[in-house]
């Protein structure tokens, strides 16, 4: 059965920060091939490159949105960057044969439990580009800073990415 969902992250950035999402993302999905729950799957725009622990996984990034809006707070203007990955993958129900003592379930689930969104970010102060990410289990609030000049680039204060079912 084909499952479609969106993985979305919203970053509040300093003015003139440039964000470019990468063409891969990491999502925790249940894998019917290795019969294990909560597997980190590296999903690509090319379905032939998508991997789960060394084997192919039928998943693909269909499209990536990178939306920017200007947001005026009381003190300053900030840019809101919204990154959305639209993903499709093949799901088959299974039972994990391992001892799952202490876990909430043994049966597979069709929706993600965790994700990481990687992006390139360009600092407006020193004009360097570096790789950053956001993921569900970060300690928040998190402030992303430039690795070269320590300029504060963005804040990440909400649990993300968010996952939304799509038709």
Beta bridge partners of 2: 90
Query: Does any domain span residue 166?
Result: no
In a domain, 132, yes or no: yes
Give the pLDDT confidence score for residue 10 in this predicted structure: 94
Count of structural domains, the chain: 1
Whether the CB-CB separation of 77 and 61 falls below 8 Å is answered with: no
Instruction: Give the separation between CA 52 and CA 91, rounded to whole angstroms.
Output: 13
Helix (H, G, I), strand (E, B) or coil at 47: helix
Q: Distance (Å, rounded) from C-alpha 153 to C-alpha 39?
A: 31
Distance CA 14, CA 40 (A): 31
Domain extent for 36? 2-93+106-161
The residues facing 139 across adjacent strands are: none
pLDDT in tens, 49-68: 999 988 999 999 999 999 99
Structure-token pair, residue 104: 């909430």
Q: Please report whether residue 113 resides in a domain.
A: yes
Q: What does the block give as tokens for 126?
A: 């020193």
pLDDT band at 72 (very low <50, low <70, confident <90, very high): low
In a domain, 98, yes or no: no
Residue 159, Cα to own-chain centre: how many angstroms? 11
Whether 25 is in a domain gets the answer yes
Cα distances from 90 to residues 2, 58, 105, 153, in angstroms, run 5, 6, 20, 37
Q: Which two tokens stand for residue 150?
A: 């320590």
Report pLDDT digits (tens) over 75-124: 567 889 999 999 999 999 999 888 767 667 788 999 999 999 999 999 99
Q: Which two tokens stand for residue 21?
A: 């999402």
Q: Which two tokens stand for residue 122?
A: 């360009």
In a domain, 167, yes or no: no
């Amino acid at each position: 059965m084909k499952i479609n969902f969106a993985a979305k992250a919203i970053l509040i950035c300093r003015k003139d920060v440039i964000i470019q999402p990468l063409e891969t993302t990491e999502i925790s999905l249940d894998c019917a091939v290795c019969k294990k729950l909560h597997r980190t799957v590296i999903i690509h725009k090319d379905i032939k490159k998508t991997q789960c622990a060394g084997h192919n996984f039928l998943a693909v990034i269909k499209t990536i949105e990178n939306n920017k809006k200007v947001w005026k707070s009381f003190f300053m203007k900030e840019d809101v960057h919204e990154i959305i990955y639209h993903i499709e993958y093949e799901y088959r129900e299974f039972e994990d044969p391992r001892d799952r003592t202490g876990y909430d379930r043994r049966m597979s689930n069709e929706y993600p439990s965790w994700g990481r969104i990687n992006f390139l970010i360009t600092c407006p102060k020193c004009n360097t580009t570096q790789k950053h990410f956001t993921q569900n289990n970060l300690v928040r609030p998190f402030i992303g800073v430039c690795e070269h000049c320590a300029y504060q680039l963005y804040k990440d204060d909400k649990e993300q990415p968010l996952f939304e079912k799509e038709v």
